[in-house]
Structure 1
């Protein structure tokens, strides 16, 4: 077979189909060599069930809500909770972010800034923890909530809502850590909504009663909320969605590079791309950055 490099004088023509050679028995994949029927069995899927919070007019929760970590996500959540009438306590490692949030909310009396996580814990029923890394999350719990003392139930009856992106095994470790201290665990991961880019879709797993108790909170910042069963399940769904987004972005970058190599400028291709169905909200927010990088 002659390999023809990219050349305008040549074209690729499919001349014929060739029947695939059968694999030898030694080449066949088997799930279990000791079980001859294993190959015919369907793959066992993880049991994940979904439930959504009810919509419509939901009364504002009388629970005192805590938000730890006033970064990009924590700031949005705390702000929307205050604006919808919830009583909110906040703490951040650097107080300036909490102060800036209070200023943006016109010093709303529903918002209270705490000097320590311990103070926030004492004055809150349910706490959203917005820490980005699961290792930092573990260190935070160990340093602030007496996790090493086996006899002290520091988190007794507290609802701990973890918004950290992590693997399912790490999620189960955090759940065990919280429950050993008397607390209740709910993981909640968020994705931007296709209906309203300033609001989220909430993916939750863990304590179902805790999930039901935050319905007015979820309504404040999300267009829909989905309960996915046991701890770790929401993390799995979130990671799959992140993988899909990564593949889309890689395809976008490769597509622009290919257009450039074929003589179509990035600016011209951007105009074409923006008019297609492919340019959804996620792509639209990133295509400008891709063009900037390629043309820089």
Structure 2
């Protein structure tokens, strides 16, 4: 026997392909046209909490909010869903549900009032309003507005919290909650990257304490204090190495200076003061700019000075830098790193090195502080190639995980159950499990930026072009990352590729 709902009832409304979302049965506005409906199940206009959107939902896809609250609240872990729950609970707490099902302060009434205000202020709106019984009820509601002022402010705060540009942009589209312009997933430009806790530079990690490193007597420079560079420099300082640092944003150097490092005004100043200089910047172009640019590394590189490139680059870029350094009598080593921000901070990276063997040997105490193992792979370019091969594996695997989790959600399975089962299988590994948890939590705090993963896939594809080696899976994964990056998730963790896989 089908349930019968009336205006004002609080429900869980499910659109095809989406988890149930908290809503309220409402009267549609004249702009919200009822879709053609051939099925026997009744259809209702639903106001979706947290997004201030409306949509038409069949009765078979609706459940009573209170009766199914405990079950449905477990089906979605996104921030947008949590805001929607908060909004409906606030609505209930303030006693804004009426026994007769009518809500005299409905969003449509507020829109009516706002449109009247706009009409008074904007000469362009000249179309007269028809006096209908519905319009009269709205005018009556406007007269009662002072008594409802706190309610209107609360609703506005809900809209602002979701990043909605304006209720007037939302009410005319019957789109689902997570397909609206105000949601977490489809308006990434309004979603700030999770705040990264400040790095505690002076505190030694337990891993570093256990290593008992004998620091080198040489002086080391370090260019770039980003996500990876900060953790690496922290361990160099705390292991007793003498370090001089530089970063494009000079404020980032302050905590390291307090911890005992020196600060150089330009990359060339760092190279001049140091015996060996490390560089860890964003991409191949940034690496070239660091070497060949104004006040760059080449300005002060000289015989016997060493330069170690830790930026994720392609073999050709590495060879170009090596040639320039060697031409001026310097020594060059590429030292690619495998790991994330956490590994960099804990000193558990894996270092892949190639180039000058004597420079590799002189950097051993530094590599001990940075990671758990280091490998010498021969001539310049081999380390970059090895790194791209490993990054290709990681990128394709993560894209596959994202699609699997999206499929599970679409099929009505709980993602936490998927991860719990996965943990007991032979596929379980720290990387997959960590990224799976990040997908479920939905915040995507940055461990490895998505834009860096996409960059490595692009470089892998470039290497495959030169070798005429087909990489169809990597090519497809690269497109998924590119789309997620275009949506605004480039600086979020690579697990944010789930956004594109899901939608």
C-alpha distance in 1 between matches for 2:431 and 2:320: 32
Match of 1:166 in 2: 313
Q: Of residues 58, 65, 71 in structure 1, which corresponds to 2:220?
A: 65
Match of 1:187 in 2: 334
Match of 1:203 in 2: 352
With normalisation by structure 1, the TM-score equals 0.71
Match of 1:120 in 2: 270
Once the two structures are TM-superposed, the CA of residue 245 in structure 1 deviates from its matched residue by: 0.3
| Stretch deviating more after TM superposition (177-186 or 226-235) | 177-186
1:58–1:215 Cα contact (<8 Å) kept: no
Once the two structures are TM-superposed, the CA of residue 184 in structure 1 deviates from its matched residue by: 0.7
| Bigger proportion of residues as helix | 2
Structure with max Cα Rg: 2
C-alpha distance in 1 between matches for 2:404 and 2:300: 55
Find out whether 1:108 has 2:263 as its counterpart: no
Gaps of 5+ in 1: 1-55
C-alpha distance in 1 between matches for 2:248 and 2:300: 24
C-alpha distance in 2 between matches for 1:72 and 1:263: 36
Match of 1:281 in 2: 430
Match of 1:130 in 2: 280
SS at match of 1:155: coil
Match of 1:85 in 2: 240
Once the two structures are TM-superposed, the CA of residue 229 in structure 1 deviates from its matched residue by: 0.2
SS at match of 2:335: strand
Match of 1:221 in 2: 370
SS at match of 1:144: coil
C-alpha distance in 2 between matches for 1:139 and 1:192: 24
C-alpha distance in 1 between matches for 2:297 and 2:375: 32
2:269–2:300 Cα contact (<8 Å) kept: no
Q: Of residues 236, 249, 253 in structure 2, which corresponds to 1:94?
A: 249
**Deviations 1:175-220 (CA, angstroms, capped at 9, x unpaired):** 1011112211100011129xx7831011000001100111111111
Which structure carries more relative contact order (alpha carbon 8 Å, separation 6+)?
1
Q: Of residues 433, 439, 455 in structure 2, which corresponds to 1:290?
A: 439
Match of 1:157 in 2: 304
Match of 1:23 in 2: none
SS at match of 2:323: helix
Once the two structures are TM-superposed, the CA of residue 121 in structure 1 deviates from its matched residue by: 1.5
With normalisation by structure 2, the TM-score equals 0.43
Residues 20-39 of structure 1 aligned to structure 2 (within 5 Å): none
**Deviations 1:72-118 (CA, angstroms, capped at 9, x unpaired):** 1211111111111111111111111000333xxxx233x11122222
Alpha-carbon RMSD across the aligned residues, in angstroms, is 2.4
SS at match of 1:62: coil
1:127–1:160 Cα contact (<8 Å) kept: yes
| Stretch deviating more after TM superposition (116-125 or 199-208) | 116-125
Distance 1:99 1:230, change over 3 A: same
1:153–1:182 Cα contact (<8 Å) kept: no
Once the two structures are TM-superposed, the CA of residue 274 in structure 1 deviates from its matched residue by: 3.5
1:153–1:180 Cα contact (<8 Å) kept: no
* Count of paired positions: 230
1:91–1:114 Cα contact (<8 Å) kept: yes
Match of 2:68 in 1: none
Match of 1:15 in 2: none
